[in-house]
Amino acid sequence: GENVEQHPSTLSVQEGDSAVIKCTYSDSASNYFPWYKQELGKGPQLIIDIRSNVGEKKDQRIAVTLNKTAKHFSLHITETQPEDSAVYFCAASKTSGTYKYIFGTGTRLKVLA
């Protein structure tokens, strides 16, 4: 069945360093890849997304890259800040029919001051 693998499960970085989270998807028909940030007790918040027709997208300190051939996509956070500490989920979806999201297992990012 469809699944999304996400690594690492936990990540600790020093403030100001970069953080990278990687995901691999199984369904080659997937063509939309959002990233969500979930803070304690809150719902997942969309922070960035990428579609399969581009290889990279950047929004200030956050960037996402996509390798369709390898079915990999990654989240890059530069100049990390303590408020970046949260659980990050990747997801994969297909833009046909309704957009059921298959989530990765999450990465708990801790930014150490």
Partner 1 sequence: AAGVIQSPRHLIKEKRETATLKCYPIPRHDTVYWYQQGPGQDPQFLISFYEKMQSDKGSIPDRFSAQQFSDYHSELNMSSLELGDSALYFCASSSQGDTEAFFGQGTRLTVV
- Please report, as ranges, the residues that interact with partner 1 according to CB under 8 A: 6, 32, 34, 36, 42-46, 49, 51, 89, 93, 95, 97-106
- Residue with smaller CB distance to partner 1, 62 or 102: 102
Task: Give the Cα separation of 71 and 30 in Å (integer).
Answer: 9
DSSP type of residue 84:
G
Give the residue with the Cβ less far from partner 1, 8 or 16.
8
Amino acid letter, residue 8: P
- Quote the least distance from Cβ 41 to partner 1, whole Å: 8
Count Cβ atoms below 10 Å from residue 93 Cβ, excluding itself: 22
The nearest distance, CB 20 to partner 1, in angstroms, is 19
- The tokens of 112 are what? 């150490």
Task: Report the distance separating Cα 94 and Cα 37, nearest Å.
Answer: 21
Nearest residue (CB) to partner 1, 61 versus 99:
99
